[in-house]
Amino acid sequence: MRIQIINPNNSLEMTASIRNSAILVASKETEIIAVCPALDQSVASIEGHYDEAVATVALLKLLQQGCDEDVDGHIIACFGDPGLHAARELVHAPVIGIAEAAFHVATLVATKFTIITTLSRTKIIAEHLLHQYGFAHKCARIRCIDLPVLSLEYDENHCYQIMRQQCLDAKRLDGIGAIVLGCGGMSKMAQQLSDEISLPVIDGVTAAVKLIEGLSGLGMKTSKWGDYDYPRLK
């Protein structure tokens, strides 16, 4: 099977890092196709609602391309799950956002989780998702490292140290059993953090890969009856 992972920002480094994470967990039979928009089609990083809105259109174009190439599933690799409902209208194959993927997995291994994300201003996006999906009471706290998304690429070591400290604080103070990483760019740190902290640290990218593989194994596609029917022709 082939899974298209769309990083909706246009950072090639982050796209590569997301691809690497995905390949590490994908089944042998699964081909990972990681894409991102051209430089003039989206934003360098998604750090608010405006960035999301701009990136969503680029994302949907890439999604349509993936659909035309007949991939078996799509992943939206940005923690705000931008364009998720629109994407499910556009294609029949399953579509999963990395925020929802991480939330689903977290609730299967722990009663509560803490999210560690980048900038404080993006907390509201995670809160809206938790509320809409129904996981608000499972999330004990959203912690921020207060560094821009792209610092995860150009200042990786510094970010890691801050995240490690936040994970330790979460483990000690938040009454949680798992940690959810709140950015696609953090994917590469999940395994090391989990090992050092001795706690399940859940990265939505890898979580989404396994969920898509699972849906595919069930023959389960996005329902085209009702709310997720194809966009109406005018």
Q: Name which of residues 65 to 94 contact its own copies (CB under 8 A).
A: 83, 85-86, 88-90, 94
Give residues 96-155 in contact with its own copies (rule: CB under 8 A): 96, 100, 104-105, 107-112, 119-121, 123-124, 128, 131-138, 148, 150
Q: Is residue 26 within 8 Å of residue 53, measured between CB atoms? A: no
Give the residue with the Cβ less far from its own copies, 34 or 126.
126
Residue 182 has which token pair?
């709140």
Give the residue with the Cβ less far from its own copies, 193 or 215.
215
| Cα gap 39→159, rounded to integer Å | 25
Q: Measure the N-to-C terminal CA separation of the chain; round to a whole number of Å.
A: 34
Count Cβ neighbours within 10 Å for each residue of 56-69 and write b for 16 or more, e otherwise: bebbbbbbeebbee
Beta carbon of residue 220, minimum distance to its own copies (angstroms, whole number): 6
Among 1, 23, 33, 44, binds its own copies (CB under 8 A): 44
- Count the site residues for its own copies by CB under 8 A: 79
Give residues 1-40 in contact with its own copies (rule: CB under 8 A): 25, 27
Q: Which stretch binds its own copies (CB under 8 A): 32-40, 154-162, 181-189, 216-224?
A: 216-224
Among 40, 68, 157, 218, binds its own copies (CB under 8 A): 218
Give the residue with the Cβ less far from its own copies, 34 or 167.
167
Residue found under tokens 């599933």: 73
> Which residue stretches of the chain are H helix?
12-25, 49-68, 84-90, 98-109, 123-133, 151-154, 156-173, 190-197, 204-217
Edge to edge, the sheet with strand 139-144 lists 139-144, 113-117, 178-181, 201-202
Give residues 165-184 in contact with its own copies (rule: CB under 8 A): 171, 175-178
Of 173, 160, 161, 171, nearest to 199 by C-alpha is 171
Q: Which stretch binds its own copies (CB under 8 A): 31-39, 41-49, 157-165, 181-189?
A: 41-49
Among 4, 45, 117, 166, binds its own copies (CB under 8 A): 45
In single-letter form, the type of residue at position 128 comes to H
- The DSSP line for 199-215 is S-EE-HHHHHHHHHHHH
Among 1, 16, 35, 48, binds its own copies (CB under 8 A): 48
Binding status of residue 57 toward its own copies by CB under 8 A: yes
**Alpha-carbon dihedral of residues 217, 36, 33, 97, nearest 10 degrees?**
-10
Beta carbon of residue 33, minimum distance to its own copies (angstroms, whole number): 19
Give the residue with the Cβ less far from its own copies, 70 or 231.
231
* DSSP category for residue 135: -
